[in-house]
């Protein structure tokens, strides 16, 4: 998993909770990296799972809520740090349709060894998109947060529902996304 995801998670924890909470999370998570992350490194996704579980216990917020909130936060950070990712898109659904064909191409230029989830999209009508997520990592709620963060960024109100399943080692989620302010 990309190091920038870890470093931004740590930044969010420090900003929204405190440096002491972050220290407790890092110390109690039994991390393979000993809690040392760089934005350009690659790390075991289980370390992220351990940190979120430790944070959940420390601040008494459900794991799922923390993961989704982090995804929402992460979208704004990534688009701010890498404005080229935005391209010429002016609304949420058009941007989301481009994730695999444009955004992930740009990410792979920056991080050639990245193992990115796959997204397929199907436009069901104006303001309505079905997005298919597939990954070896169990982060569909992170994707949900990123989708909602995208809506926040473009100023589009969204209704998002989803159904998740697993096939072998792949976690799959179908997101039904409606832009309700079109």
SS (H, E, C) the chain: CEHHHHHHHHHHHHHHCCHHHHHHHHHHCCCCCCCCCCCCCECCHHHHHHHHHHHHHHHCCCHHHHHHHHHHHHHHHHHHHCHHHHCCCCCHHHHHHCHHHHHHHHHHHHCCCCCCCEEEEEEEECCEEEEEEEECCCCHHHHHHHHHHHHHHHCCCEEEEEEEEEECCEEEEEEEEEECCC
Per-residue confidence (pLDDT) for residue 104, from 0 to 100? 80
Per-residue confidence (pLDDT) for residue 182, from 0 to 100? 56
Tokens at residue 180, please? 């309700």
Confidence of residue 2 (pLDDT cuts 50, 70, 90): confident
Can you give the pTM of this predicted structure?
0.92
Tens digit of pLDDT for each residue in 52-90? 999 999 999 999 999 999 999 999 998 998 887 788 889
What percentage of the chain exceeds 90 in pLDDT? 72
């Amino acid at each position: 998993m990309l190091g920038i995801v870890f470093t931004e998670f740590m930044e969010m924890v420090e900003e929204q909770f405190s440096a002491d909470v972050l220290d407790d999370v890092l110390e109690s998570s039994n991390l393979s990296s000993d809690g040392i992350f760089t934005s350009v490194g690659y790390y075991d996704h289980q370390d992220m799972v351990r940190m979120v579980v430790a944070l959940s216990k420390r601040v008494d917020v459900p794991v799922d809520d923390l993961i989704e909130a982090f995804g929402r936060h992460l979208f704004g950070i990534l688009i701010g740090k890498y404005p080229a990712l935005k391209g010429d898109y002016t609304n949420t659904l058009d941007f989301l349709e481009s994730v695999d064909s444009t955004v992930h191409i740009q990410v792979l230029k920056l991080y050639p060894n990245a193992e990115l989830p796959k997204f397929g999209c199907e436009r069901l009508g104006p303001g309505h998109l079905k997005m298919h997520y597939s990954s070896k990592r169990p982060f569909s709620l992170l994707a949900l947060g990123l989708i909602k963060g995208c809506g926040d960024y473009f100023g589009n109100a969204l209704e998002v529902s989803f159904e998740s399943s697993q096939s072998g080692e792949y976690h799959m989620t179908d997101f039904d996304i409606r832009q309700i302010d079109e």
